[in-house]
A and B are shown apart, each in its own frame.
Chain A
Amino acid sequence: MTTERHAISVTVNGVRHDKTVEARMLLSDFIRHELLLSGTHVGCEHGVCGACTIWFDGFPARSCLMFAVQADGHDIATVEGLADNDKLSPLQQAMHEAHGLQCGYCTPGILMTMSHFLASNPAPDEQAVREALSGNLCRCTGYQHIVDAVLLAAERMRG
């Protein structure tokens, strides 16, 4: 087992981080335990639950399925970057109002997946929202209030 460390430089929520990591370190562990951005959650570490979803160069990706070294030179966004200081993003606000979260463990991943979805689908119908959401597991809510929240956010973002 080689424990050789590699220097990487990753930009997260607009801030550049230079670190050295083992080749085997998961990107999710790197974000959570090296950068201490623990808003990105880990539910399965095998790519199914979606809790660890981040944006990798602007696109949703599962950080548990990548190594930190693969992020070298790339741009990452996490849930901590969604709100503008204390002002929630439209989707965060809608999730609050529609009761789209219970334990909140799945929530960061869902916010990252669905914020991206809304950016490219400004006027989705319920079925489209459900399809986009179907890769993120939530065990608490039964999804209905999350769907409501996404539709509400879409409506508000259209203005």
Chain B
Amino acid sequence: METRYFGASVKRNEDQRLLTGQALFIDDIELPGMLHAAVLRSAVAHGRIVTVDVSAALKREGVVAAYTAQDLGDFWQPGPLLVPPPPIEGSVFNLRTHACLAKDKVRYAGEPLAIVIAADRYIAEDALADIVVDIEILPALVDLEAALAKGAALVHEDLGSNIAAHIHQGKGDYARAASRADHIIKRRFLYEHGISSPIETRGIVVQWDARGGQLTMWDTTQAPVFVRNGLAAVFGLSERQVRVIAPFVGGGFGPKIMMFYPEELLLPWAAMQLNRPIKWIEDRLEHFVATTHERGQVHDSKIALTKDGKILGVKDVFLHDSGAYDPYGLTVPINSQCTLLGPYVIPDYDSTFTCVFTNLPIVTPYRGAGRQHGVFVIERLLDIAAHELGIDPAEIRRRNLIPPDAFPYDNEIIYQDFAPLSYDSGDYEPVLDKALSAIGYAGFKDEQAAARAKGKHLGIAVAAYVEGTGIGPYEGARVQVQANGRVSVATGIGTQGQGHYTVFAQIVADQVGCDVRDVDVVTGDTDRFHWGAGTFASRGAVVAGNAVNEASKVVRQKILTLAAEHFECAEGDLELGQGQVSIVGVRGQAIRLSELAQKANPMRGAVKPGAEPGLESTQYFGPPSGATASGVHAMIVEVDPETFTLAIRKYVIVHDCGTVINPLILAGQIIGGAAQGIGNAFYEKLMYDDAGQLLNASLADYLLPTSLDVPRFVLDHTVTPSPLNPLGIKGAGEAGAIPAGPLFAQAIEDALGFKAKGIELLEIPLSPARLWELTQQAG
């Protein structure tokens, strides 16, 4: 195969529409007779509902309907479990899912109480103010340990405690490691991840065609097929009666895969009651409380080492904040538990976590999906060990890396995809070496001293991670050469800016020999492709990409067979390229793909038994388990010792995500992830008070990093192909976001000489204010 596009920095097919304002986003959909919804949300984090009275709202001119939980009748029920817990022996998992409107109790500030449907959004919002709400306030559970204390109020009374889950996993025997160790370090770590905050909030437009019995929902979801299947089940429709379309979606990063959000059920239900199309667009202030978060964990961790810095074992006990309900199962804490192991040999590992119900919004994965929390723990433990054992931080990491001949490397615990956590392939030391050389690690001590002499405080850091990516179950793709010669590709995943329209086109164009711009990719429309799981866990390119490849290969074969018949020659004499099939070495003997497509769909005459029309194929791909990507980030910062403002002087990322389809798009994914990591480490913090009120619910107060906070990144990569898929690719969507936390902690400690002052940075997010507090406490 002549490879022209795979591996090249092909410019994106989707850009033209996005650059000219022609791409269709959710709020761009206008339907005749469309009504508009607004949702009344609880201002109280925990309380018993006495009254929600919508009668005054209903009297307002322009209001068509207003519904409370009472009005939903039998439709009111707790939602489904989206991701079941992995089959780990001895697990406790208490499932409590939310309903679309709170009925007896509210469990977080922001929980929906009522929905108003009106002629326009302005009127709908006016009417929210007409609704009379009386809630008897209960004590709010915000702190994880307080929620587990005896006598604490209960988020779900019937449960008898606030324990959402309790899981133990391990390998080897930590007691053995501890007894053999020269040195044991014990620390408590706090890690909080914030909100994904895509620039487009969530939104839904729904249309019920009563005559045709057809429900159509446009949704900013990352998993349209799941939503379609779920809606069919809830409304007692067959799957073919429901169409879910994820149009252009303005960023997702995880939370847009949650289902069902209350609005995803309320809107279709109301549209069926009223027989009118309805639109709901989340506003930014709502987004802070109505879209899922990731938030925090508290880890009590120990590491046992030899005196030369070899890890013997790690013991980690942590609490995980589930929020008020746990429809997403255990994905986030399982990722933390698994990813803590990193690229290191850790012979004995003992990890236990308890998920805790709190009166805060629901926690679901956000880019990194709990991996950050685990990576922070192991990377900080290694930094502290390096300091206490007198070993260089980069060197202690090197001494513990899994050697290249140890793959596949079995970690003997279960991952989020229910498969054993096994690293498929990797070669970690070259990644570390490249990062150290790019950051100038060897010469940094001199650089630091020279800067210090000028009154500048520089610090350096290096952190490593692995990322389990590209998990199953499967994705599919249909590839078809059309009569006009253009090739269409349809898959079931959603896309939120990852460049799927281009990377899938690259795969197809190489196989069928056409221009990459002649490939039209459709994602996220269940009428165009109705099987699949969705875009999450850095799996789109890996799983759907391989399905596209399989389907393209079959189409290629169909093209060759038909062209060989046409020319009455052997298939081996044929060559595909430039949108046509030609005979090798014979000038002028060529047939266009368009013509072949027409031949493959004859209007008259008999076809051979078993023949399928068209140059088309639908294929599926499901990997046996996830592919493990890896990387090292290194950073130099300058910190002002008085104001604690920080400037990143250099940031190096070296990563290995197997075979690369499109280096430019990959760079975009990595850099974008790293920018979110920087936000998480130093800028973004959800500030809750004791009553469970979010104090900084605006973009003016919750700080997303700007172009002045994010540096220019230096990127490099190595390639260790995955043996788990024919293309050898590993996922890359989340990698960039993962190691920034430990990197900031390490670099700031180094810049300000915290080690000597006995100050340790054991928490994320940090900020100038927090650094000031910590130095004050240290005296």
Contact = CB atoms under 8 A, between A and B. Distances in A.
A138 interface: yes
B21 A106 contact: no
B327 to A, nearest CB: 24
Interface residues on A, range: 35 or more
B675 interface: yes
Interface string A65-99: 00000000000001110110000100010011101
Interface in B175-201: 196-201
Interface in A27-71: 32-33, 36-49, 51
A138 B199 contact: yes
B698 A80 contact: no
Mostly helix, strand, loop or mixed at chain B's interface?
loop
A90 B126 CA distance: 44
Interface in A101-153: 101-108, 111, 126, 129-131, 133-147
Interface in B10-63: 11-12, 14-16, 18-23, 25, 27-28, 30
B249 A103 contact: yes
Contacts of A41: 25, 199-200, 250
A144 B710 contact: yes
B674 interface: yes
Contact of A140 (B122, B672, B708): B672
A105 B17 CA distance: 11
Contact of B250 (A103, A129, A135): A103
A103 B712 contact: no
Interface residues of B, number: 56
A130 B700 contact: no
B311 interface: no
A15 interface: no
B707 interface: yes
Contacts of B707: 129-131, 133-134, 136, 143, 146-147
A102 B672 contact: yes
Contacts of A5: none
A22 B253 CA distance: 37
B284 A44 contact: yes
B146 to A, nearest CB: 33
A32 B27 contact: yes
Contacts of B336: none
B524 interface: no
A24 to B, nearest CB: 7
B613 to A, nearest CB: 35
B676 interface: yes
Contact of B248 (A32, A48, A103, A130): A103
Nearest to A25: B122
Contacts of A37: 21
Interface in B248-298: 248-251, 253, 283-285
User: Nearest 3 CB-CB pairs, A to B?
Assistant: A39-B21, A105-B250, A103-B497
Interface of B: 11-12, 14-16, 18-23, 25, 27-28, 30, 122, 126, 196-201, 248-251, 253, 283-285, 496-499, 664-665, 667-668, 671-676, 698-700, 704, 706-708, 710, 712-713, 736
5 contacts: A32-B27, A37-B21, A44-B699, A79-B21, A104-B248
Given A25-B122, A104-B19, A105-B200, 7 more contacts: A38-B28, A46-B699, A95-B19, A99-B668, A105-B199, A139-B197, A139-B672
